[in-house]
Amino acid sequence: MENKGTIFQRIEQHKGIFSAKQRKLSDYIIANYQTAAFLNSTDLAYTAGVSGSTVIRFAETLGYDGFPKMKEALHQIIQQDINTVDAFMDSEQQLGSYRALTDKSIFQPCIQTFHTIERSLSPELLDQSAELLAKADNIFIIGFQGAAFLSEYMAYFLSKVRKNVKRVNSLDSVLFEKILSTDLKHDAVLIYAFPRFPTLTLQLAQYFHNNNVPIVCMSSTTENPISELANIVIPIDIEYRAYIDHLAPVVYLSEVLGKKIAKLNQMESMKQLAAFEQYAEAAHIFCSNK
pLDDT digits (tens, 9 = 90+) for 137-177: 999 999 998 899 999 999 999 999 999 999 998 877 566 77
Distance CA 103, CA 241 (A): 23
pTM beyond 0.85, yes or no? no
Distance, CA of 141 to chain centre: 14
pLDDT digits (tens, 9 = 90+) for 109-134: 778 778 878 887 889 999 999 999 99
DSSP-assigned beta bridge partners for residue 215: 189
Q: Which CATH superfamily is domain 107-283 in?
A: Glucose-6-phosphate isomerase like protein; domain 1 (3.40.50.10490)
Cβ-in-10-Å burial (0-12, 13-18, 19+) of 273 comes to middle
* Greatest mean pLDDT among 103-107, 144-148, 240-244: 144-148
35 contact partners, CB below 8 Å, separation of at least 6 = 47
Task: Report the CATH architecture of 7-81.
Answer: Orthogonal Bundle (1.10)
Asked if residues 143 and 156 have their Cβ atoms less than 8 Å apart, the reply is no
The mean per-residue pLDDT over the stretch 202-210 comes to 94
Q: Cα torsion at 262, 267, 287, 250 (round to 10°)?
A: 0
Domain ranges of the chain: 7-81, 107-283
Count the Cβ atoms, other than its own, within 10 Å of residue 48. 22
